Amino acid sequence: MSPLEVFEKLGGEFVDPPIVMPAAQPLELSGEAVRARLCVFTSAAGEECALRPDLTLPLATAQAANGNGGESIKRYAGRAFRLPTVPGDPVEFTQVGFERYGAPSTPDVDAESFALVCEAATAGGVTEKEVRMGDLAVFPAFVDALGLAAGLADALKRAFRQAGGVSALLSGERRPPATGLASRLKGASLAEARDIVADIFALSGTQMQGARTLEEIVEGLMAQASDAEAESEEAPALARQTLEAVMAVDCAPDNAADALLAIARQAGLSGVDPVLDQLSQRVARMRELAPDGLTSARFGTPFGRRFNYYDGFVFEMIAPGGDLRRPIGAGGRYDGLIRDLSGGKVDMTAIGGVVRPDRLAAAVEVRQS
Amino acid sequence: MTRLTLAIPSKGRLKDQAEAWLSDCGFKLRQIGGERGYQAEISGLPDTDVLLLSAREIAEGLLSGRLHMGVTGEDLLNDLSGNLYAEAHVVRRLGFGGANMVVAVPDAWIDVSTMADLDAAGALYRQKHGRRLRVATKYLASTRRFFAARSVGEYRLVESAGATEAAPASGTADLIVDITTTGATLKANGLKILSDGLILKSQAALTASLGADWSESARAALARLLASVEARAAAESVVKLTAHGAISDDTAINLGLVDVRGPVAFCAKNTAAYAAERLCTEGFGPVSIEKIDFLFRAETEALQQLLKKI
């Protein structure tokens, strides 16, 4: 059986979405950081276009446009394009994979998707695998449970996605709101605050520029004021210890939920239990469905954070002794993407997985030689 | 045999200052084809072609190896090169063309004074509009690196061709990354610099390409150029002391005098008066102090450093 035939067992539809997309799509979604990997060109009219960096994004875009329609499965074997970060990597390569929309967001579905990718890799000739996995819902759950000021909590969740971002943020000096004005607006309604700031701008001749509106600026200012008030002295110290411990969890998947639970208990946090239950159920189910995928596996909290739109279970696998930067298979959950792409009109869970036939073949060749 | 190619900025203050600096070092430029020509002859440097190019072209030429030497801004070198240390070598910062590369936002953004505030504002904006804030700049790579280092991801880049500082007013972007000397242009355009928004302090620098074809004749011309440049620079901080009678070794060491030969020695400018006074009390007076124009040494250290890399 080939990887393609393994995924066929899922049923659904075999598709080939457009190769060319507006560059704004991946850039707006993932930010400038992805530009370094993106094959971008400019049309004669000056419009920036990009070659699809994977098939997940164009398929999700189509799904967001087509609206809610119950559960569906898309399968593909198509070319994708990325500028290499590792010398010698091809710009153009094939991904064989599937995306599953609207299925319940459960540990069972996570484990099934993982098992399929394992099976596809085995079908491609790689029987033994080293797996790394994470769960991108864990860190935000801990941040929420810590009850931090809203602005700090949001900043931490954003910083999680950047290497070193969390510790940089937590070790940085916390500071009072940017202007004394923020504290003087305390108690004012948004409309009142807006009028006050508008008066100040009129007096000082300050001009509005760019796309941010006066309302947004005042909102930002008031958020800073309420953050400064909400923040107690001890909260950052406890938050720092807890979140640094959470970030440092790197262990066998079977121990991950317990390790995280111990950190939560130590900090006296409740509220992370549902996420940790999911994690432990998922690992148990993975052990039933794909024991071969767990023989050499690690769970790491920060793992997968550079996968921009993923927000739950994530995994990658390599052949034993292979290059971590060249996974043979990968996958994960991105329940929030279609909602974001459709501007909130379509809300659908989503999970997908792929293998790279070129890398599978290379791994087989390495083993034979 | 290749000749040495030396590029200097082709217009504006930078051109005038580069020309004045060269002339100070003893090399006179004469543009071929008058004021608008893009080649020049240089007196005192045989085997050298002088080209007048834009500062960006000079940086590109140095990085690609098309030029041997050039005077250009460190800002451009940093932005255009992914690995500046391996591609070019800054021989000497020249003390003119100074400018800061900064992140500037509209004055009206009273809720944004740091990079962290900017990220928070960007996130809120994206939540509301489904789009990212746009940053106009000519310095794409530097901006991307700086924003990533500050964990700021909530933005999109818009490449600016002309007056970047006008981009927020014209609506093509929301904030900018640009070069500023006094900040006056930013202020006039209703923009303020973020408190931790300094990306780079830059000045004009004499820079060598590490990828150029460094033939024997090019190296010979380089040695000639650097000997004068370094001699001129050394003379900035050193004066000549002439005492009455030969200065003893002990005295020279105590007073920090160097290159002592009989009654003549050299001394750092800021300690010269003290040394002269002490020499007088020790019986070497009268002592005169003279400014010097050049201080050539047998070995040019900057040249040796550069030769090790090419």
Number of H helices and number of E strands within chain B? 12, 16
Chain B residue with CA closest to A198: the answer is B108
Same domain, B103 and B189: yes
Chain A residue with CA closest to B171: the answer is A210
Q: What is the pLDDT of residues A130-142, one digit of tens each?
A: 999 999 999 999 9
Which CATH number covers residue B252? 3.30.70
Is residue B225 one of the residues assigned to a domain?
A: no
Q: What is the pLDDT of residues B132-190, one digit of tens each?
A: 999 999 998 899 889 988 878 889 998 888 889 999 999 899 999 999 988 899 999 99
From chain B, the residues in CB contact with A155 under 8 A are 116, 119-120
Cβ within 8 Å of B, A 266-305: none
Residue A75, pLDDT > 70, answer yes
Q: A269 Cβ partners below 8 Å, 6+ apart?
A: A142, A145, A146, A242
For A28, the closest of B117, B156, B191 (CB atoms) is B156
- What is the distance between the alpha carbons of residues B72 and B9, in angstroms, rounded to a whole number? 7
Is residue B284 one of the residues assigned to a domain?
A: yes
Q: Do A197 and B123 touch (CB under 8 A)?
A: no
Q: Do B157 and A161 touch (CB under 8 A)?
A: no
Domain range holding B156?
99-201
Same domain, B18 and B135: no
Residue B282 sits at the chain A interface (C-beta within 8 Å): no
Same domain, B131 and B272: no
Q: Report yes or no: B97 and B20 within 8 Å, Cβ to Cβ.
A: no
Amino acid making up residue A11: G
From chain B, the residues in CB contact with A180 under 8 A are none
Is residue B304 one of the residues assigned to a domain?
A: no
Same domain, B162 and B32: no
For residue A3, the model assigns a pLDDT of 94
Is residue B227 one of the residues assigned to a domain?
A: no
Radius of gyration (Cα) for chain A, nearest Å? 23
Same domain, B207 and B115: no
- What is the distance between the alpha carbons of residues A235 and A239, in angstroms, rounded to a whole number? 6
From chain A, the residues in CB contact with B120 under 8 A are 151, 154-155, 220, 223
Is residue B253 one of the residues assigned to a domain?
A: yes
Is residue B75 one of the residues assigned to a domain?
A: yes
Q: Do A33 and B148 touch (CB under 8 A)?
A: yes
What chain A holds in terms of domains, given with CATH numbers, is 3-136+304-368 (3.30.930.10), 180-230 (no CATH)
- What is the distance between the alpha carbons of residues B220 and A9, in angstroms, rounded to a whole number? 73
The values of phi and psi at residue B195, to 5°, are -65, -30
From chain B, the residues in CB contact with A33 under 8 A are 144, 148, 153
Q: How many CB atoms lie within 10 A of CB B54?
A: 16
Number of domains in chain B: 3
Confidence at A145, pLDDT banded by 50, 70, 90: very high
Which CATH number covers residue B195? 3.40.190.10
Q: What is the pLDDT of residues B35-60, one digit of tens each?
A: 666 888 888 888 899 999 999 999 99
**In this predicted structure, which of A58-62, A289-293, A301-305, B62-66 has the lowest mean pLDDT?**
A301-305
Q: Do B155 and A181 touch (CB under 8 A)?
A: no
Q: What is the DSSP letter of B283?
A: I
Q: Report yes or no: A95 and A77 within 8 Å, Cβ to Cβ.
A: yes
Same domain, B87 and B145: no
Confidence at A225, pLDDT banded by 50, 70, 90: confident
- What is the distance between the alpha carbons of residues B229 and B90, in angstroms, rounded to a whole number? 13
Average of per-residue pLDDT across A165-177 = 64
For residue B294, the model assigns a pLDDT of 93
From chain A, the residues in CB contact with B130 under 8 A are 28, 340, 343
For residue A179, the model assigns a pLDDT of 58
Amino acid making up residue A227: D
Same domain, B171 and B253: no
Is residue B307 one of the residues assigned to a domain?
A: no
pTM: 0.77
Same domain, B10 and B149: no
Same domain, B121 and B170: yes
Same domain, B90 and B13: yes
For A32, the closest of B128, B155, B190 (CB atoms) is B155
- What is the distance between the alpha carbons of residues A318 and A117, in angstroms, rounded to a whole number? 12
Q: Which of B182, B213, B244 is the last residue of a domain?
A: B213
Same domain, B284 and B166: no
Same domain, B168 and B248: no
From chain A, the residues in CB contact with B155 under 8 A are 31-32
Amino acid making up residue B9: P
Is residue B221 one of the residues assigned to a domain?
A: no
